Structures are given as structure tokens and as C-alpha cells.
Amino acid sequence: DSEYREMWEKLDLDLPAHDALLEVLGKFYGDIYMSQQGRLQGMEYLDFVLSEVHGLRIKELQDAKAEGRKIVGTFCVFVPEEITLAADAVHVGLCSGADAGTELAEQLVPRNTCALIKSFIGFKLARLCPFTESCDLIVGETTCDGKKKAYEAFADHAPMYVMEVPQQKRACDRELWKSEVLRYKEAVEKLTGTTITAERLRKAITIVNDRRRALQRLNALRSANPAPISGRDALLINQVSFYDDPLRFTQSINALCDQIEERIAAREGVAPADTPRLLLSGCPMAVPNWKLPYVIESAGAVIVGEESCIGTRNIRDLVDESGETVEDMLDALVDRYLKIDCACFTPNDERMDNVAAMAREYNADGVVQYSLMFCQPYGHEAIKLGKRLDAEQIPSLAIETDYSMEDVEQLKTRVEAFTEML
């Protein structure tokens, strides 16, 4: 489409490399998504959004910019979206799930850096991501060492702002986090020239909570047997939630949930009732990282939940909506975000409890732990969580991988062996 090409050119994308990327992605999507049987009709919306991810959605961002609105990009669910929205800016998730520009990225960060970090750097340096190029501000955070040092290097290439996230959850850590949330509010107000009023913030909290409620509704329906939706489709929904317009997205997911309810009432599903049900747990799977879900679901199992930031960790907790003043609402935000059980925290025992509870809630037969190679936080917790699940007699399999396709067959063999013993 010539309109899009002009837009990509203005964003200074490397057009031939970008064409090649879209082609590979289209094929990958066809193989992994369009080949599924018994897909819900409501997934057409997701197919459409994904097919237009670098087209229509980018055009919407450009239109917003033309109206004077700002675009804020983020890499972590710790950045309070409500504040971005309350200042009338657009909030998009940037972390990337495909190998791109790896050689360039390795000039900026060490080779033994996780694929997620290399990916966002590679996409930027190879000029392949129209989202990154549309951003007026990119917000990083001091979570894992890999990310926080990568942001330092990234700041030479993009308008970076970094939030300090504490590593413990004591009263003094809450103080620190509150001051960081206030500092972010000021930064966004300065960027947009919009003062965050109680009315604006209340509206933003409702928008984001409504999206969380729709995704909670979807997750709750997944406890049904037979599984009414594939794990691949549910992951895609979570991935799209990071960059789609929140109001439109929420509406579509609620419509999809209506269809799922009908399906459950008719006792229909995407796989027979005796299919092994697995919970995925661990590192975030950013779009288009569909490798492991595809491997699992082609090995005869079905995924019934994602304990991940691109999954329940991002939607489990709502922001308290009873606050009257900006101050009340900021406190509610601070408390809600500090409940996130990221492996960067120490200790992080609540995550162990949450995974075990989720496995039960979704009637999972086992848990597949996923960590990206070179990810220290989730690698460490995989050992701890494995022991906890053993103690609770929940079978688990720990997998460490990256974005390359080289280990697909080997992973399939391991997943098949695991599901056979369930």
C-alpha cells in the first residue's frame, strides 16, 4: 500500500529489510495461526489488527501525533499506563519477540544478553520498528541488569527516560516507588503540556481496569474443559493488548468472550477433553514470539494460562477505583503496581504461590516454565519454582530457549515426553 510506504519512508525505516520482515512474519503467522482448527470467529479481529500492525495502527499513531498528541513506548508492565493516558498521550508496548539486527545489537550490548533485549535494540539499530520510530519518549526501568544497562546504551539512539523500580517491597521501597511514579507524572505532563487532573486520571484508571477486566474474564473462561480457546490465540490477544487502542480492544475481547461462553455451554472446544492442559510460566513472550506455544500445541497439549507479563501478571490486579483526589488515585496506582511479582524482586515468594494457585484454578495438568537464555531472574526462579511445584505434586518442565528456530524439534521431543507422563 503506497500510503503506508510513504509513512514508513518518513519514519526512516530500512524499506527493503522491512519488506522482508513483513513477508517472513506473514508466513510465520499463516503457519502458526491460520492453520488452527475450530478457531473462534472473534479472532478475526486479532488477525486484522496483526495484519495491520505496521500499517493501520502506525497510521493511527501518526494521526494522533498530527493532532499534537505524544507517543510513549515502554518495555515493562511497571510503567503506569494510566498516567500516560491521563496526560492524553498514547501508550504502546515495545518489547520485541523476534531476532532482528542481532549483529548491530551485539555492538551495543554483550553477546550473552537475552534475546528480548537484543531484539528491541536490533529493531531500532536496523530501522525496522515503526513503533519505536514513532515514539516521543521511551520509558525504561531498572528491573534486570540486562535491561537497565541496555537502556544506558540505548539512550544514545532514542529519547530515553528511566524509572527506578525497587527490588524489595518494604515501606521504604514503597516510598521510593511513589516518588518515581510522581516523577513520571511530572515528566509526562512536561512532555504533553497537559496537567493530570482527578477527572482525567479517573477516566484513565477506568479504561485500563476495563481492559484488565475483559482479559480476566477471558482467562476465567479458560478453566473450562474442553479448552475453548487455544493458548496461541490467548497469547496473541495478550500481545495485541500492548499496542491496540484500549477501548476498541476491550470491546472486541468482551465480544469474543460472549462467543466463548456459547462454546462452553455447547461443550465444544479447540481440543478434545482429554488433551493434556498446560500452564506456561516465566519470561514475557513479546510479539511475534509464538515458538514455544506452537511447539506445545503441536505436541498434543493445550495451553490454558500464561503466568507472564504478557499474560496474568499484567492483568491480575486492578487499581482501586474509589479514590476522589489525584493524590488518592496515585496512591492506588503505587499500591497496585507494587503487587507485580516480577522475578527481579527479592524475595519474590508471592510468585510461587501465584503459579501454584493458577495451575489449580485453570485445571492444568502441568506447568511449563519458560526462561530466555541468559535471563538471570527467571533462570534462578525456575529452580525455586520447580521445587515448589514438586512439593505440591504439580508436574513441571523447565525450558530455556531463545528466538531461533534451531531447537524446535528438540523442544517438541521434550514436551512430548513431558505430556506423555502426565
The only residue of 97, 226, 269, 377 in contact with ligand BJ8, by rule CB under 6 A: 377
Is residue 146 near ligand BJ8 by the rule CB under 6 A? yes
CB of 317 to ligand BJ8, least distance (A): 13
Is residue 76 near ligand BJ8 by the rule CB under 6 A? yes
Is residue 340 near ligand BJ8 by the rule CB under 6 A? yes
CB of 418 to ligand BJ8, least distance (A): 22
3-class DSSP assignment, residue 216: helix
How far is residue 61's CA from residue 400's CA, in Å, rounded to a whole number? 36
How far is residue 125's CA from residue 119's CA, in Å, rounded to a whole number? 10
Beta-strand relationship, 277-282 and 302-307: parallel
How many residues sit close enough to ligand BJ8 to count as binding (CB under 6 A)? 20
Of the candidate spans 224-232, 370-378, 395-403, 408-416, the one that interacts with ligand BJ8 by CB under 6 A turns out to be 370-378
Burial 93-123 (b: 16+ CB within 10 A, else e): bbbbbbbbbbebbeebbeeebbbbbbbbbbb
- Lay out the site mask for ligand BJ8 across 147-186 (x = CB under 6 A, - = otherwise): x---------------------------------------
- Show the cell assigned to 149: 544497562
Is residue 338 near ligand BJ8 by the rule CB under 6 A? no
Shorter beta-carbon distance to ligand BJ8: residue 167 or 298:
167
Shorter beta-carbon distance to ligand BJ8: residue 45 or 378:
378
The only residue of 49, 61, 90, 116 in contact with ligand BJ8, by rule CB under 6 A: 116
Is residue 275 near ligand BJ8 by the rule CB under 6 A? no
Q: Of the candidates 50, 45, 57, 43, which has an alpha carbon nearest to the alpha carbon of residue 25?
A: 50
Distances (CA, A) of 81 to 60, 107, 198, 350, 417: 18, 31, 15, 23, 41
Residue 51 CB partners (closer than 8 Å, separation 6+): 26, 29
Of the candidate spans 64-72, 101-109, 112-120, 412-420, the one that interacts with ligand BJ8 by CB under 6 A turns out to be 112-120
Of the candidate spans 24-32, 44-52, 203-211, 372-380, the one that interacts with ligand BJ8 by CB under 6 A turns out to be 372-380
Beta-strand relationship, 396-401 and 366-372: parallel
Shorter beta-carbon distance to ligand BJ8: residue 108 or 344:
344
How far is residue 262's CA from residue 265's CA, in Å, rounded to a whole number? 5
Of the candidate spans 75-83, 132-140, 208-216, 298-306, the one that interacts with ligand BJ8 by CB under 6 A turns out to be 75-83
Phi, psi of 126 (to 5 degrees): -85, 5
Cell 526501568 identifies what position? 141
Is residue 77 near ligand BJ8 by the rule CB under 6 A? yes
Is residue 283 near ligand BJ8 by the rule CB under 6 A? yes
The only residue of 8, 45, 78, 242 in contact with ligand BJ8, by rule CB under 6 A: 78
Is residue 292 near ligand BJ8 by the rule CB under 6 A? no
Q: Tell me how crowded residue 265 is: count the other CB atoms within 10 A of its CB.
A: 9
The only residue of 40, 109, 117, 382 in contact with ligand BJ8, by rule CB under 6 A: 117
Is residue 114 near ligand BJ8 by the rule CB under 6 A? yes
Is residue 330 near ligand BJ8 by the rule CB under 6 A? no
CB of 372 to ligand BJ8, least distance (A): 4
How far is residue 267's CA from residue 310's CA, in Å, rounded to a whole number? 28
- Lay out the site mask for ligand BJ8 across 208-247 (x = CB under 6 A, - = otherwise): ----------------------------------------
Q: Give all strands of the β-sheet with 302-307 in edge-to-edge order.
A: 302-307, 277-282, 366-372, 396-401
Are 142 and 342 a contacting pair, CB within 8 Å? no
Distances (CA, A) of 54 to 7, 26, 30, 113, 123: 10, 12, 17, 27, 13
Is residue 342 near ligand BJ8 by the rule CB under 6 A? yes
The only residue of 85, 237, 375, 389 in contact with ligand BJ8, by rule CB under 6 A: 375
Cell 503487587 identifies what position? 339
Phi, psi of 348 (to 5 degrees): -140, 45
CB of 2 to ligand BJ8, least distance (A): 37
Contacts with ligand BJ8, residue ranges (CB under 6 A): 76-78, 114, 116-117, 143-144, 146-147, 283-284, 309, 340, 342, 344, 372, 375, 377-378
